[in-house]
A and B are shown apart, each in its own frame.
Chain A
């Protein structure tokens, strides 16, 4: 009974609100002057302070509800793009290896990695001639893993808070604590009759731990704290007897996509949104890297006097803002990225909240030295 009455009132209200639609044609056949009386009544009720107050509150509530809905849509969009709700894994203290990444250590099986991390989001060639398999959840819990021929882990990397160790060293640990724990870092790695000197300028330390070379990267802009770790099994490291990996298309594309992933992982670790890959911008970037490699120079401005913005505009790329990071000579995408993160101007590009897209282009010179170009933009 009450529901019927409520339905009837609702219908009456709707019919009244739809008055402009039926009033004119209906007035030709029916006398609608009684509606003037209804208008007067409504005006009288509307003029009362109590009603005004109630309507004000109703309006306020509707606005608040709308704002909450708008925020929840934004939050959901952010969650979808960056995986904001991704949970940090429970990090277990390793037992058989000194350091683990996302509970994975050197020597673990591919099956264990699959159980712990699922399927890789991307697999790309690295300088050791094996693939980095990148695992992440919307770039949260980002890890890269490589395997030997028997399907056992022989390389690991992360730049997020998923590092565990027997010593207690973790993401955010002080450099002094790392050195106190692991001793004096290596100043060279000897492979056959070659000694590869390590000149890190304090940006990273390399230690020989267990059967691996562990590179611990520090964030110079956050009090020299641990910001990333790379673990390479000795056998894999010694299989690479040159300063640089063999330059080919696979390595070029590998470095490009790895830099893209590393950038997004760093952005998420610092609370910024994920960038989209922009193929057109990547073409502009790779042409600049090739130009530098072929013509033996290293600068934002090319030998025709064009700036990065000129090159992007020439390629028909529209943007409201853009930035360019260049790196040259680093043996891998990881070292290039970590170097850029410790250089304030380049770090600001990587962690710029306005940027929405990134294109990366890599080229090698005759000595296999890589040239890396990162072009950031927003439209």
Chain B
């Protein structure tokens, strides 16, 4: 399985993005006036063999 450890930092809360990604845009808009950086974190998981 690919690594989907994308974390979200918003208003001091850390939530797994898979749980809230449906509301992502709404949360972003809500936090924008508060000047809080609101990003989905994308990470590459790679391997060699």
Report A's interface with B, CB cutoff 8 A.
Answer: 188, 190, 193-197, 199, 243, 296, 298-300, 325-331, 335-336, 339-340, 343, 346, 365, 367, 369
Contact in complex: B42, A327 (CB < 8 Å): no
Q: Which residue of B lies closest to A241 (CB)?
A: B42
Query: Binary interface profile of B, 2-31, with partner A (CB < 8 Å = 1, else 0)?
Result: 100000000000000000000010001000
Contact in complex: A193, B38 (CB < 8 Å): yes
Contact in complex: B44, A243 (CB < 8 Å): yes
Report B's interface with A, CB cutoff 8 A.
Answer: 1-2, 24, 28, 38-49
- Partner of B41 from the list A197, A327, A340, A369 (CB cut-off 8 Å) is A197
CB-CB under 8 A for A194 and B47, given A296-B1, A367-B2, A369-B2 = no
Contact in complex: B2, A298 (CB < 8 Å): no
Contact in complex: A194, B46 (CB < 8 Å): no
Cβ–Cβ < 8 Å partners of A330 in chain B: 44, 46
Cβ–Cβ < 8 Å partners of A328 in chain B: 46-49
Give the tally of cross-chain contacts (CB within 8 A): 61
Contact in complex: A329, B2 (CB < 8 Å): yes
- Partner of B48 from the list A243, A343, A365 (CB cut-off 8 Å) is A343
Cβ–Cβ < 8 Å partners of A343 in chain B: 48
Contact in complex: A199, B43 (CB < 8 Å): yes
Minimal beta-carbon separation of A345 from chain B (angstroms): 9
Contact in complex: B42, A197 (CB < 8 Å): yes
Contact in complex: A331, B44 (CB < 8 Å): yes
Minimal beta-carbon separation of B11 from chain A (angstroms): 15
Contact in complex: B38, A300 (CB < 8 Å): no
Minimal beta-carbon separation of B5 from chain A (angstroms): 10
A369 to B43, CA, bound (A): 12
Cβ–Cβ < 8 Å partners of B45 in chain A: 329
A17 to B4, CA, bound (A): 85
A261 to B42, CA, bound (A): 29
Cβ–Cβ < 8 Å partners of A298 in chain B: 47, 49
| A and B contact pairs by CB, cutoff 8 A, 8 listed | A193-B28, A193-B38, A194-B41, A299-B49, A326-B48, A328-B47, A328-B48, A328-B49
- Partner of B42 from the list A243, A325, A339 (CB cut-off 8 Å) is A243
CB-CB under 8 A for A329 and B44, given A193-B24, A195-B39, A369-B2 = yes
Beyond A193-B40, A325-B48, 16 additional contacts (C-beta under 8 Å) are A188-B41, A190-B39, A193-B28, A193-B38, A195-B39, A196-B42, A196-B43, A197-B42, A299-B49, A327-B48, A327-B49, A329-B2, A330-B46, A335-B46, A336-B46, A343-B48
